[in-house]
Amino acid sequence: MASIFTKIIQGEIPCEKIIETDSEIAFLDIMPCAAGHTLVIPKLEVERLEDLPAEQALSLMRTMQQVAKAVSTAFDGIDYNLILNNGLNAGQEIAHVHFHVLPRAKGSPGPFREHVQYAEGEMQEVGAKIRNCL
């Protein structure tokens, strides 16, 4: 059965897309830990990082580097975490490998401790702000 991420890739579920390549897509998390919390995923649906063919893993890392820089720049050089939960025991909730780019302001809570909710139209504004930094 297709993961929710595959449904996003196929356009069945809308998202606030940051960037899309032939083999990856990055979009804002709908349950963000901070404004700008972005997911970077391969289009190939594999559960674990080691299941991704090496060439696609390299491409994913290039896209993740580009997205992370844009997220940081969009928020005035903010620090960030790059997080991969690889497997259920590591906290992976969706069986499709994905990285979190999680902006971290000074004094912010640890990753996944709190979630914020975007106000009406805010998600689109944040997405545009990040895309403008690509």
Catalytic site residues?
Answer: 98
Question: Which of the four pLDDT bands, split at 50, 70 and 90, describes residue 108?
Answer: confident
Q: Where are the beta strands (DSSP E) in the chain?
A: 17-20, 24-28, 38-42, 79-84, 99-104
Alpha-carbon span 120 to 97, nearest angstrom: 29
Domain that holds residue 96: 4-131
Check pLDDT > 90 for residue 56.
Answer: yes
* Helix locations, 1-134, DSSP H: 4-9, 54-74, 122-131
Number of domains in the chain: 1
Global pTM reads 0.94
Q: What is the CATH number of the domain that holds 24?
A: 3.30.428.10
What's the average model confidence in pLDDT over 81-85?
A: 97
Check pLDDT > 80 for residue 1.
Answer: no
Predicted confidence at residue 47, as pLDDT, reads 96
Predicted confidence at residue 109, as pLDDT, reads 81
